[in-house]
Amino acid sequence: MTTLDYATYIAGLPRVLVGAAALFRDAEGRVLLVEPNYREGWALPGGTVESDDGESPRQGARRETLEEIGLDVPVGRLLAVDWVPGTGRPPLVAYLYDGGVLTEVQQRAIRLQEEELLSWRFVERAELGAYLLGSLGRRVSAALDVLDSGAGTVELENGEPVAD
């Protein structure tokens, strides 16, 4: 029997992407969306967690918010965790945190990361489907339901709530 060295064992394990984003709203309850220049559809401030650097999803959401919109705001509670199967990429585990309500001062301070983003806007809940594609739209809707109900975190698979 041969002994497999630990590094070789780890290198052979499946890979999963980890993403984290923050759900920001304005005083009217509209959701802050950003328009990426590298893909179709809009998104929330967020991105890939730098787990190789030891970053947690919560830290990643805060870092990505600072990088993408120029606001250094602590994120609130975890609203949703979503398992999104891979299609041409590894599967994704997406964490969605409550970013809270942005004040008018914070809104005026938004500065976009020009390398990745074209624009930003606040969007009414009823209009989110026109901006957010696939599981992201369902994830945001589920997170808004959590906020509305005061419930705990929702577990999702491809944007759909997991039945207990």
**What pLDDT was estimated at residue 4?**
72
Query: Would residue 8 count as lying in a domain?
Result: no
Q: Per the domain annotation, does 20 fall within a domain? A: yes
Here the CATH number for the domain that contains residue 154 is 3.90.79.10
Report whether pLDDT(1) > 60: no
- pLDDT computed for residue 5 by the predictor: 84
Q: How far apart are CA 79 and CA 37, in angstroms?
A: 27
pTM of the model: 0.92
Residue 12 is predicted with a pLDDT of: 82
State the residue range of the domain holding 55. Answer: 16-161
pLDDT at 3: 65
Instruction: State pLDDT tens for residues 83-139.
Output: 999 888 899 999 999 999 999 999 999 999 999 999 999 999 999 999 999 999 999
pLDDT at position 89, please? 85
In a domain, 124, yes or no: yes
**pLDDT of 67-79, one tens digit each?**
999 999 999 999 9
Task: Count the neighbouring beta carbons within 10 Å of the beta carbon of residue 61.
Answer: 30
Number of structural domains (the chain) is: 1
Residue 4 maps to a domain: no
Instruction: Spell out the residues 6+ positions from residue 135 whose beta carbon is closer than 8 angstroms to its own.
Output: 82, 84, 94, 156, 158, 159
Of all residues in the chain, what percent carry a pLDDT higher than 70? 98
Mean pLDDT of the chain: 94
Is residue 10 situated within a structural domain? Answer: no
* Residue 43 included in any domain: yes
* 59 pLDDT above the threshold of 50: yes
